[in-house]
Each structure stands twice: as structure tokens, then as C-alpha cells.
A and B are shown apart, each in its own frame.
Chain A
Amino acid sequence: MNQLKRFYIFTGKGGVGKTTLSLAFVKHLKDQNKNAKYAYIQTNSIGDAPPKHESIISETKALGIECLPLNLTQSAEVYIGKKLKSQTLGKWVIKTPFFKALINMIPGFNYLIYLGQILELLNDDPSLIIVLDSPSSGHALTMLESTHNFRDIFQAGIVFDDTKKMIDLLYKDGFMKLNIVALPAQMAINESIELEAKLQRIENINTSLIVNNTYKDISNIELASLPDFLIEKIENEKVLCEKYKEKIDYTIAHSIGSSEQSLINSIVPSMKNLV
């Protein structure tokens, strides 16, 4: 059993099951009486009203887990406010057209602010564990590169000091883990391995590769009773998983559940592997 980390990130292409796995993972931690929160990015630009994300709200409620929506306006207000030691000033600064244009134009800055906020929360509450349902793969790179990029961009000042602190904390042994989720297809697995390599170029990041929604792992499935196209799919999955067995850490079977919630509950037990 791995040691529990403080900060988990789930990333991967859209539709691979990041949200489902993140929610199931938080549920697993909750079941262990851990103080875990599910974080997701609500909106990425300043000024726009964040969308409601009703499905996420109702799902987290049904699962009994706490939600941490990240929206740029609020996060930036809090972050800049903290740095200037005045929330009023923070609010004022981010409302100016100049700052709005700046933050919306310089892309990685939003991620730096989210990371800053997450790390502050973790710092304030030593029992807290945050599970981030992260943006898709390319943007996960933008996010994790943002600390380094802005350290190099600023070279002095409060945020510069902060980026250094953030890097120290993020890459401290046993602090963060990044789970890359992929579907069982050649191209998808390849891309995840590429992502892993690109992340490693930033820092020595603790990563796992999870192949989700496999048919070969459905329990009690009998090949003989399946039609040719499914047999072929399963055979392909086996070939792929064998080929990349050094790289793939876990596989999660396709769930034949009807509702999203029963699906989440059905995979909670396998979540202990992702710690």
C-alpha cells in the first residue's frame, strides 16, 4: 500500500473517465474517514459568470463528498488579495480592464493561481487532501509548467517567491501524485506515455497510467458467447496491455452500470490502488 499523498491530479483526454475516477477516488478516501475534497475548474476566464455544473453538484451531493469549484475570478481575487494583504485591493485589481486583459491573454497564469490556491488550502489544513479533476492532457502540462514559467518570467516579487515555494512543495517526496487516464486504444496509450515523458521533463513527477473501460477485465465474461467484433476488441486490448505492460499501472473494467452513481460506486473498491 502506498503512502497517502496530499494532492492528487487526474488527467487525460476528454471522455476517458477523469471525472468518474476522481469522484470515485474521493469517495474511497471519504470511506476511509479522510478529509478529502473534489476540486474542478469551473471557469477559466475573468468576468464570466461560472456555469452551474449541476450534474457535478448533484453527483457530489449524492456521494456525500465535498466539492471545491475553482473559478478564476474568485481564485484570483483571493490570491492577489492575500499577496497584497487586502481582499478589497485584490477585488479591485482584478476588476481593472488592464488586469483582466493581462490574465486572459497570458494563458498559464490562471493555472498558477489555481495551484497557488490549492497549495494554500493544503497548507492551512494539514489533514486536507485535494483531488483535482484536471483539464485535459495538454493543459495539464501548461498547468504544471506554469510554476517554472512564471518563476522565470517574474524573477522577483511576491509571486516569484511563491512559485519557488510552490515548486518545493509540489515536488516534495510524497506530496503529489498524477494519474493519467486513457482508454484501451493504441493511440490513446501512446499519447499518455508521451505525456508522462513530457511531465518528467518538468520535474520528477510521480505518475501512474490507468487504462480505463477495458472489456477484457469484465468479470465472468465468456469470449465464446460474444460477437466477433467484441472478441476482436478484447483481443486488441490484450495485445496492447501486454505490449505496454511496463508502462500501464492499472486497468479498470468497463462497468455495466446504468446510472453514473452506480458506476462510481462500483469502481470505488479498486480506487485503493491509486493511492
Chain B
Amino acid sequence: MNSIKKFEIFSGTGGVGKTTMATSRAIQLASEGRKVLLITIDPAKRLKDLLGLKDEESGDVITINNPLNQGENVNLDALLMNPAKTLKKISEKTGSSTVLNNRILTILSKPYGGLNEIFSIVELQLNLDKNIYETIVLDTPPGSHFLDFLESTKKIQTFFDQSFIDIFNYIGGGKSQTMNTGKKLFTMVVSGGVKKLLGYLQKVTGGKFIEDFMKAIGAIYETKDVFLSALRLQEDLKDPELSNWFLVTSVDQNKIKEALNLSTSAKDFLNDKTYVVLNKCLQDRLDNWKVDDLNGLEFELKNGFLKREQNLKSDLKEHFKQMIEFPEIIKISAADQVVELIKLWNIKSKEINI
């Protein structure tokens, strides 16, 4: 019997079917009767339609009953990332409403404001705290932005590092008086060590921004417990006993270097327990393709496919001990594709005991 992992994290270079892989894996786990939550950042509308997820519901956990007709008793919880909603949850959790009233934070928590990476780690923590999920499947942002996701904990740390904490300590503990005016905070900071810098910044960004920015920092500082508890999650994510990592890549994608770069830059997280998922393999079909004319276009085409796939596999084998191969599913309907993938996950998970 395989041990149930608390987290399953799907990363990859983008355009490799990462979200579809994560979704089909989540449904497969759910169909085994596990209580599963799928967190996904920016899935294609088509995939949302398939799952019956609506944009208006993004940011809320939605229970999908009988996903893709996998059975009436199959239920999957899913969450579409919505930074504005996450901000609201942070506010509720910490009892601080300041974060919701800040102009800068409101703009940055628009869907493409860029806070998705940091907030997805917060969501992970918030949902973990509910203590109802056996496994949370996380679909991370693509490519090097996946590193942003990993680095987000580091960024949180930098943000709350000593220099900031000093500023706030300097201003004094009393929250109510500290945080109600950014201007006051600003004056305090200016009289502190960062005076010169803020002076220049003010020239560049305008004074109103500095004032609002100080307010934003103050507001975030009020909610720092949420961010700092998300930081602790980092250790769990690194622990192979608690987390399965899947690095998804695809044969039709000329991104082997990127995938390998990703694995080196993220070596703290990806280790020899990481599964590399190779999508869209054609090997079996190519082996059955008999070509007679060794000078023709067909031979060149077949050889091109074969070489591409074999090179990729041998490169990957050098870096990863565990590879899961998925054949390319040649079906035009996205629903049929996901259903096929669920079946394949079923087989693979038994084979490799995950």
C-alpha cells in the first residue's frame, strides 16, 4: 500500500499539459475515495468548463460531484486562484481590514497583478489549516514563474526581514496608532535610516505613492502571521515523505534545456524523489510504423520523431531516477483527453505505487 502524500505538486515549463495532468491526477485520487483539493492558477477556459468551474466562483472552494463522469460517489474540491479573494481571506483570518482598503494592494491583486505566486502558497496553507484534505494537488505557474512560486517564500522572508521589523519596532507596538496613518509611518521612516532612499523614491514615484505604499506595508504587516505560517510550509514541501513532486515535460516541446535548468535552479525542492512526467510519447506507435523507402520523407519524419523522443528520454534519465511516460492522446475533444489521462494515472499509480 502506498503512503498518502499530503501534497502533490505539479511543475513544468508551460504548454506541456501540466494543468491537465494535475487535474486528471486529482480526479484519479478522488476516485479512489481520497479527500482531495485541487488548486490551480490559470487554467484554460475549456478545462474550467469541463469541471463546471465558473470564473465568478474563483477564489472559493467548489465541490465537483462526479467530475467527468467518474462516478456519482466521486467528489473533488477545486479552487481557482483569485488574488483578491485570497486577500479577503487573509483579512478575515487576521481580523485586519486595512489590507482590503489599500489602493495599491487592490490594484496588485487584480488577476494579472502578479500576486498569484505568493498567494498560492498562502492558499495552500489556509486550506491545509482546515484539516479536511488528505491530499492537496497544486498546479504551479509555468516555467521560470514556477521558480517565482518557490521563491515566494523567500520573498516573504525578505519582506519581513529585520530591517522592516526594525522600522515597525521603532514606530512602536500599538497597532491602532501605528497603522492608521501612512503619513505618520512615512514621517517616522523618513526620520529613520531609509530617509535618503525614500526621498529619492518620492521623486520617482510621487509622494502619494510612498504614503500609500507605507500604508500597504503596514497593512501587510498586520497580517504577517498568515504569511509567516505559509513560510513554514516550505519545509513540508521539501520533505519527500510529505510531498510528491511531478516535473511535467512533453515530447513535442523543445524545452529539455529549460526543464533541466528548472531542475537545477529548484534543486532544494526537486530531488531524486521527483517524478519526471513525460507527456505525449509516441515511441510505441513509431515502433509499429514500418517505412520501406529509406530515402523518403516518411523515413525522415519517423526518424526525426524517434530521435527527438530518445534524446529527451536519455537526457531526463541522467537527471531523474523516476520517469512516468504518458503516450500522446490523439483525441480532439478535451473531455476525452482528460478521461484517457485519468485511466492512465490509474494504471501508472499502481505500477509505481504512488
Kindly state whether residue B52 has any CB partner on chain A within 8 Å.
Answer: no
Digitize A96-117: 1 where CB-to-B-CB distance is under 8 Å, 0 elsewhere: 1111111011111000000000
From B26-34, B85-93, B126-134, B151-159, the one touching the partner chain is: B151-159
Task: With a 10 A CB-CB cut-off, give which of A45, A135, A160, A229 has the most chain B CB atoms.
Answer: A229
Q: Are A93 and B144 in contact (CB under 8 A)?
A: no
Task: For the complex, give the distance between the alpha carbons of A191 and B45 in Å.
Answer: 7
**Closest CB-CB distance, B301 to chain A, in whole Å?**
6
Name the contact of B254 in the complex, choosing from A15, A89, A145, A194 (C-beta under 8 A).
A15
Q: Are B148 and A44 in contact (CB under 8 A)?
A: yes
Task: For the complex, give the distance between the alpha carbons of A80 and B204 in Å.
Answer: 8
Q: Are A194 and B45 in contact (CB under 8 A)?
A: yes
A229-B209 contact, Cβ under 8 Å, with A106-B108, A187-B334? no
Q: Are B145 and A136 in contact (CB under 8 A)?
A: yes
Kindly state whether residue B252 has any CB partner on chain A within 8 Å.
Answer: yes
What are some 14 contacts across the A-B interface (CB < 8 A)?
Answer: A13-B14, A14-B12, A14-B143, A15-B254, A84-B204, A98-B194, A138-B145, A153-B209, A156-B208, A157-B203, A157-B204, A183-B252, A187-B44, A236-B330
Interface residues of B in 172-202 (CB under 8 A from A): 194, 197, 200-202
Nearest chain A residue, comparing its CB with the CB of B293: A225
Task: For the complex, give the distance between the alpha carbons of A51 and B257 in Å.
Answer: 13
Q: Which residues of B contact A156 (CB under 8 A)?
A: 206-209
Q: Which residues of A contact B161 (CB under 8 A)?
A: 97, 101
B interface residues, tally (CB under 8 Å): 74
Task: For the complex, give the distance between the alpha carbons of A156 and B45 in Å.
Answer: 37
**Closest CB-CB distance, A114 to chain B, in whole Å?**
13
Name the contact of B204 in the complex, choosing from A13, A158, A233 (C-beta under 8 A).
A158
**Closest CB-CB distance, A77 to chain B, in whole Å?**
13
Nearest chain B residue, comparing its CB with the CB of A109: B114
Task: For the complex, give the distance between the alpha carbons of A83 and B13 in Å.
Answer: 36
Enumerate chain B interface residues (CB-CB to A < 8 A).
Answer: 12-16, 20, 41-42, 44-47, 103-104, 107-108, 110, 112-118, 141-145, 148, 151, 155, 158-159, 161, 163-164, 194, 197, 200-209, 212-213, 250, 252-255, 257-258, 261, 282, 285, 288-289, 296-298, 300-301, 304, 328, 330, 332-334
Q: Which residues of B contact A12 (CB under 8 A)?
A: 15
Task: With a 10 A CB-CB cut-off, give which of B47, B110, B164, B254 has the most chain A CB atoms.
Answer: B254
A152-B107 contact, Cβ under 8 Å, with A14-B16, A236-B332? yes
**Closest CB-CB distance, B191 to chain A, in whole Å?**
15
Task: For the complex, give the distance between the alpha carbons of A107 and B120 in Å.
Answer: 14
In the complex, number of A-B residue pairs with CB atoms less than 8 Å apart:
189
Q: Which residues of B contact A187 (CB under 8 A)?
A: 20, 44, 46-47, 334
Q: Are A15 and B45 in contact (CB under 8 A)?
A: no
For the complex with contacts A138-B145, A149-B110, A154-B208, 9 further pairs of A-B residues with Cβ separation under 8 Å are: A14-B258, A20-B254, A55-B257, A80-B204, A84-B200, A107-B148, A155-B208, A218-B301, A227-B289
Q: Are B155 and A105 in contact (CB under 8 A)?
A: yes
Q: Are A135 and B145 in contact (CB under 8 A)?
A: yes
Nearest chain B residue, comparing its CB with the CB of A45: B151
Q: Which residues of A contact B116 (CB under 8 A)?
A: 138
Nearest chain A residue, comparing its CB with the CB of B148: A44
Kindly state whether residue A62 has any CB partner on chain B within 8 Å.
Answer: no
Interface size class of A (residues with CB under 8 A): 35 or more
**Closest CB-CB distance, B160 to chain A, in whole Å?**
9
Q: Are B108 and A149 in contact (CB under 8 A)?
A: yes
Q: Which residues of A contact B253 (CB under 8 A)?
A: 14-15
* Main secondary structure on B side of the interface with A: helix
Enumerate chain A interface residues (CB-CB to B < 8 A).
Answer: 12-17, 20, 44-45, 51, 55, 80, 83-84, 89, 93, 96-102, 104-108, 135-136, 138-139, 141-142, 145, 149, 152-160, 183, 186-188, 190-191, 194, 198, 213, 218, 220-222, 225-227, 229-230, 232-233, 236, 239-240, 256, 258, 260
Task: For the complex, give the distance between the alpha carbons of A101 and B162 in Å.
Answer: 12
**Closest CB-CB distance, A143 to chain B, in whole Å?**
9
Task: For the complex, give the distance between the alpha carbons of A233 and B280 in Å.
Answer: 12
Nearest chain A residue, comparing its CB with the CB of B254: A15
Q: Are B203 and A158 in contact (CB under 8 A)?
A: yes
Q: Are B114 and A107 in contact (CB under 8 A)?
A: yes
**Closest CB-CB distance, B303 to chain A, in whole Å?**
9
Q: What are the 4 closest A-B residue pairs judged by CB atoms, nearest first? A: A107-B114, A157-B206, A13-B15, A14-B14
Task: For the complex, give the distance between the alpha carbons of A220 and B110 in Å.
Answer: 49
Nearest chain B residue, comparing its CB with the CB of A20: B254
Q: Are A229 and B155 in contact (CB under 8 A)?
A: no
Task: For the complex, give the distance between the alpha carbons of A101 and B112 in Å.
Answer: 20
Q: Which residues of B contact A260 (CB under 8 A)?
A: 254
Q: Are B332 and A149 in contact (CB under 8 A)?
A: no
Nearest chain B residue, comparing its CB with the CB of A243: B332
A93-B201 contact, Cβ under 8 Å, with A136-B145, A186-B332, A227-B289? yes
Nearest chain B residue, comparing its CB with the CB of A202: B112
Q: Are A153 and B104 in contact (CB under 8 A)?
A: yes
Task: For the complex, give the distance between the alpha carbons of A160 and B282 in Å.
Answer: 52
Q: Are B300 and A256 in contact (CB under 8 A)?
A: yes
Task: For the complex, give the distance between the alpha carbons of A13 and B250 in Å.
Answer: 13
Task: For the complex, give the distance between the alpha carbons of A170 and B296 in Å.
Answer: 48
Q: Which residues of B contact A139 (CB under 8 A)?
A: 145
Task: With a 10 A CB-CB cut-off, give which of A84, A149, A222 has the most chain B CB atoms.
Answer: A149
Q: Are A232 and B15 in contact (CB under 8 A)?
A: no
